[in-house]
Amino acid sequence: MGAQRYHTSQAAEFFIYAQLHRLGFNAVITLGNAKAVDILVYSQGKETLKFDVKGLKDSNYFIGLKDSICDEHFFYCFIVLGKDATKMPVVGIVPSNKTKLICNFWKSFRVKKDYSVHSKVISLLAAKEYEKAADYVRDTVKSDQGFDENKQLYERIANNRNQYLQELKDCLMDWKQFEQTYSENKEE
């Protein structure tokens, strides 16, 4: 991992970690490079919440998402830090069981199939621009029809747009929604 990518990754993880503590969650960071879980939130007698933080400095694809993880207690935190450190980053919290609504499958040089989410989709969803987000996802998966998942998502958007738009509205959480939904996981 290059120095810039490392610093971006660390900044993203610690930003999410700080926000979780600020909201009253008992969070711990898991250390190491090749890990699927970056942050854990523990609460006595409650389900452990797991976070995989994906950080970018600028507009690009979030990669390294795990196709096999589909758990309502596992979240992807997508964070676009931006070039200007004086501005707040764009953050989107997506339960792993909803990431396939916004992802694009592609062939990477390391694996036969990988999937990613573009930072523009996260920014559009965070701004509640669902029509534009749907168009962006549709155009992305349409341009890469090499995988059945992309074909199916394209058809889903084209044939059931209203339903897809409703699902998009429920896909990404901001901090307020996350806190309201998982308030029972806070330590008293």
Q: pLDDT tens, 109-121?
A: 666 667 889 999 9
DSSP-H helix ranges across the chain:
3-22, 119-126, 130-143, 148-159, 161-169, 175-181
pLDDT of 91: 94
Distance separating the N- and C-terminal Cα atoms of the chain: 39
Question: Pick from 96, 95, 113, 112: which is nearest to 104 by CA?
Answer: 113
55 exposure class (CB count in 10 Å sphere: 0-12, 13-18, 19+) = buried
Bridge partners (DSSP) listed for residue 76:
52, 94
The CATH fold of domain 3-126+172-185: Trna Endonuclease; Chain: A, domain 1 (3.40.1350)
pLDDT of 122: 94
CB atoms under 10 Å from CB of 2, counted, come to: 7
CB atoms under 10 Å from CB of 30, counted, come to: 13
Q: Residue 65 pLDDT more than 60?
A: yes
Tell me which of 68-72, 82-86, 133-137, 147-151 is least confident: 68-72
Which run of H or of E encompasses 94? strand 90-95
Residue given tokens 């610093």 in the structure block: 7
CA angle 151, 119, 61 (to 5 degrees): 65
| 16 vs 99: which has the higher pLDDT | 16
pLDDT of 109: 61
Region of 64 on the Ramachandran plot (φ > 0 left; ψ -120 to 50 alpha; else beta): left
Q: Residue 34 pLDDT more than 70?
A: no
Q: Residue 29 pLDDT more than 60?
A: yes
Q: Residue 188 pLDDT more than 70?
A: no
Domain borders along the chain are 3-126+172-185
Average pLDDT, the chain: 87
Determine what percent of the chain is predicted with pLDDT higher than 90.
54
Determine what percent of the chain is predicted with pLDDT higher than 70.
91
